[in-house]
């Protein structure tokens, strides 16, 4: 531009390559890619289906975030029931019973800067055939975040911490289910 100022964004190439990496990861996940190794259930494992997770907290939408994380973990370990595998042997039901976002570190003006997000889920695994309870657990997942410079960046950081806490709940719950099998 003659007589004008040209502004170049730093990191635009990096953001583009990160976006491309994210697209590739999504495509691999969509086509059923699984890493090599012990990801499926041992021989003789049963299939499990997840009923709708309830939300008993004041945080809207939290049940969807936890459900998505839980389904990812179940699929990763090969125990989520699909239509092709027939009726499931076990049914997982439960609800999100707690959401806590607490400040754990403060600045000199006593304003929270570092936070911990905790998600509590009460879960029950029962046999489909006779309804007998195989497992009843209260699982707590947590993650941490640092407040940003503004409200939007702080909200984004909290939302990301919520996703990580949901993943923590899902990992712990699936580990307990696998222990009981």
Check if the beta carbon of residue 121 is closer than 8 Å to that of residue 165: no
CA gap 69, 72 in Å, rounded: 5
User: pTM score, two decimals?
Assistant: 0.71
Is the C-alpha dihedral spanning 52, 30, 170, 62 positive or negative?
A: negative
Q: Which residues contact 76 (CB under 8 A, 6 or more apart)?
A: 34, 39
> Angle, to 10 degrees, between the axis of helix 151-180 and the axis of helix 62-76?
40
Q: Band the pLDDT of 23: cuts 50, 70, 90.
A: very low
Is 133:92 a contact under the CB 8 Å cutoff?
no
Each residue of 58-82: pLDDT tens digit?
999 999 999 999 999 998 988 876 6
Distance CA 35, CA 159 (A): 28
Mean pLDDT within 138-162: 96
Q: Domains of the chain, with CATH numbers?
A: 45-180 (3.30.160.150)
């Amino acid at each position: 531009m003659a007589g004008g100022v040209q502004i170049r964004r730093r990191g635009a190439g990096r953001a583009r390559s990160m976006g491309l990496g994210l697209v590739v990861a999504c495509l691999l996940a969509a086509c059923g890619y699984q890493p090599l190794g012990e990801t499926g259930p041992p021989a003789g494992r049963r299939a499990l289906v997840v009923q709708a997770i309830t939300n008993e907290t004041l945080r809207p939408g939290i049940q969807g975030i936890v459900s998505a994380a839980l389904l990812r973990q179940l699929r990763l370990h090969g125990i989520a029931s699909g239509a092709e595998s027939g009726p499931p042997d076990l049914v997982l039901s439960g609800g999100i019973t707690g959401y806590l976002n607490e400040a754990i570190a403060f600045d000199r003006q006593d304003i929270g800067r570092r936070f911990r997000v905790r998600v509590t889920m009460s879960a029950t695994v029962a046999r489909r055939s006779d309804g007998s309870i195989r497992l009843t657990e209260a699982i707590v997942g947590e993650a941490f975040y640092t407040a940003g410079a503004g409200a939007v960046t702080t909200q984004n950081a909290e939302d990301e911490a919520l996703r990580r806490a949901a993943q923590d709940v899902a990992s712990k719950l699936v580990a307990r289910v696998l222990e009981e099998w």
